[in-house]
Amino acid sequence: MATVDRSIKPSFTKSLFLGRVASELVLPYPVMVGAEHEKVARLAASARDYLANVYDPAKAERDGWVGDDTIRDLGELGLLGLFVDEQYGGQGLSQSGYCRVMEEFGRVDGALAVVMGVHQSIGTKPIYLYGTDEQKARWLPDLAAGRKLAAFVLTEPNVGSDAYNLETRAERQSDGSWLLNGEKRWIGNGAGDVLTVFARSELGHVALVVEKGMEGLSTGPRFETLGLRANRLQRVRFDNVRVPAENLLGDAGDGFRIAMNTLNNGRMSMGTSIAGGMKRFLDLTLEHATTRHQFGRPLIDFELVEEKAAWMTGQIYGLESMSYLTTGLVDLGVADFSLESAMTKVVASDVGWKGLNKAFQVHGGTAYMDDHPLSKALRDFRIFPIFEGANDVMRAFVALGGLKALSEDLPDMRSLSIGDPAKAIGVLAPYVSGRINRAIRPGRLVGAHPVFAKHNAAVSEQTVQLRDAAEAALRKHGKKVQEKQLLQKRLTAVASGIYSQVAVIGRASATFERDGLQVSGAEKTVAIHFLKRSQREVARQLRSLEVNDDRHTAQIGTSTRQTGGYAFDL
């Protein structure tokens, strides 16, 4: 069979907006095999053992920090340089391998998972991806060993989701160095040793590595937060910090691209860490529901409790499938995975929050006690739909990225200009209305197991509907499509639903191929249950694109703003 060059293919999700199911990008489902599988299993077991027998999440929360000893221990165990090349002291894992080990931290403590993720996924990652050989040799060994801690320094007091319009400035000096001035906030590991800082300059955005102890660099005080209290969230200030020329990552002008690509990578480990957390929530739910008796029988015997456990099982399976399909795309060399990464982050943080609340409800008042692990998780998890790209922004990013790809594919729209969705959609010029006469043939998932024939057909049909809905949005709203956020939210929900179905079909098909259908009966039930639920939700979102109450929503919103709040007396 001919090898597919995935590096020149568009993203799978952009293909969906074009009305195509690009099965060659996603099937066969990517799985770890051989030496890496064994290595990942050893590292995951090492992490699991340490977290179970040494690390104390409650103590870390009380102390306000996971502990320098923890960072040192994890470095010695080889868990702080999971994707770093072995020549620099790392483990050399693939993206899938890295995210699989990160799942263990998410299972035990959201705060530690964030510290680990900030250090590796976004702190060390820019140096790994964009550093020269000299820069890698200079910083990566200490970062992989845990002798130094990394941070990603982007957010500012007046700049959050609008990351393009940074206020921190870097002025290039005659000797090639940079003079850095500005303030950042909400920086995880902000008091760390190696800070990748993003700023604007007369040459464009730049990414500069600032090291602890540089004159003019100051951090703190730390922010006191609702959750993740064992994560040091800092202010970071730069007062004429002189950064050597050799600390520039990439070229001047590459900074924004480096920041966005780093975040695209970082969001994937959030997906698997949350999957790990949800597995813990399910374990706690089953433990409580089988030992706690009410009305003469265990809680798990009641349908509404059993339904919650079933829901969590199905959603974990779907999230896990989606997350590792996305990491697999990276490992297979797919060049553009930004939309898939964003969708994974949105789905993970939304589903994780819902799963936590279901587990909390089963536990009742027990979970409301401050020392209960679900009480801590409730505080910790609330930030996940907000950071590393707020979910509302990510929904707009996915929809507008898909619409941009579609506008470039339509014959009468090729001259239109939709700007980079990461910088916010640009102006959509006027165009000729009227539908192009064409027959969309999205194709099927080649390689899907026959048991999924009906679901495979549903994926194809919903892909056609997504294409039609996206084109209708372009033709109806023109340049105002960038402002239609409710429409964008629904388009993203449709694309995410289709993508998750594809992931589940691919994963289950791989399992059936390996183990046989009879052996995998339980997995078949979970997969089909998930697919049916997802297909119904996608159908609902597609209907709501045409039949909705947005007009009244806008009227009520406007009225509420004008009156300054609720204005109806009883």
* Cβ burial 418-447 (10 Å sphere, 16+ → b, else e): bebbbebbbebeebeeeeeeeeeebbebeb
Q: How far apart are CA 473 and CA 476, in angstroms?
A: 5
Q: How far apart are CA 283 and CA 261, in angstroms?
A: 35
Q: Which of 167, 388, 483, 537 is catalytic?
A: 388
Q: How far apart are CA 457 and CA 46, in angstroms?
A: 43
Question: Any residues with CB less than 8 A from the CB of 549 and at least 6 apart, and which?
Answer: none
Residue found under tokens 């936590």: 356
Query: Is there a catalytic annotation at residue 388?
Result: yes
* Residue pair 308/358 in contact by the 8 Å Cβ criterion: yes
Nearest to 526 by CA among 312, 329, 351, 336: 312
**Strand partners of residue 249:** 207
Question: Any residues with CB less than 8 A from the CB of 319 and at least 6 apart, and which?
Answer: 271, 274, 275, 278, 347, 348, 351, 352, 500
Q: Is the dihedral of CA 91, 95, 100, 101 positive or negative?
A: positive
Entry field: residues in the chain? 570
Determine the 3-state secondary structure of 457 from DSSP. Answer: helix
Residues assigned a catalytic role: 388
